């Protein structure tokens, strides 16, 4: 575990499974991922994040919305950027990495058809675009 960070209220609510899925947008996903990576090591942060997203989708009555490949790919991207950058401040992180705020950033590495398959929802698929 990393040193205890100051977590955003959205992250605290996320870990308590008290998020309204209709108000949980991409920027919130990125913030929660950032905070969890500050709080936990990569393996634990990814597990907490994936379980939380899966729970949100199930509570919303849309369990098929959960996609393990997208979830782990975003966690990996954010973790890599954190490892290679000096900032532990979220606003500075986003300023230095504005592409993470786009839902389409993974299209650099994944074909859209592959990324949205049932298999991609259930297991982590490696990137297929060079």
For residue 114, pLDDT over 70 is answered with: yes
The HSE-up count of residue 64 (CA atoms within 13 Å, CB side) is 3
Tokens matching residue 115:
């990324």
Q: Cα(121)–Cα(92) distance, rounded to whole angstroms? A: 31
| pLDDT, position 129 | 83
This prediction's pTM:
0.90
At residue 45, the pLDDT reads 98
Q: Contact, 129 vs 73, CB < 8 A?
A: no
What is the four-CA torsion angle of 43, 78, 85, 109, rounded to 10 degrees?
A: 110
Categorise residue 14: left if φ over 0, alpha if ψ from -120 to 50, beta otherwise. alpha
Q: How confident is the model at residue 102, as a pLDDT?
A: 96
Give me the mean pLDDT over the 4-29 stretch: 90
């Amino acid at each position: 575990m990393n040193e205890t960070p100051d977590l955003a209220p959205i992250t605290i609510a996320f870990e308590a499974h008290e998020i309204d899925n209709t108000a949980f947008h991409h920027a919130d996903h990125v913030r929660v991922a950032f905070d969890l990576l500050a709080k936990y090591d990569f393996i634990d942060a990814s597990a907490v994040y994936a379980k939380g997203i899966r729970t949100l989708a199930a509570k919303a009555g849309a369990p098929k919305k959960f996609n393990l490949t997208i979830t782990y790919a975003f966690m990996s991207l954010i973790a890599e950027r954190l490892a290679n950058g000096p900032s532990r401040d979220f606003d500075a992180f986003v300023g230095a990495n504005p592409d993470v705020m786009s839902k389409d950033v993974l299209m650099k590495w994944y074909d859209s058809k592959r990324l949205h398959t049932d298999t991609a929802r259930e297991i982590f698929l490696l990137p297929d675009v060079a």
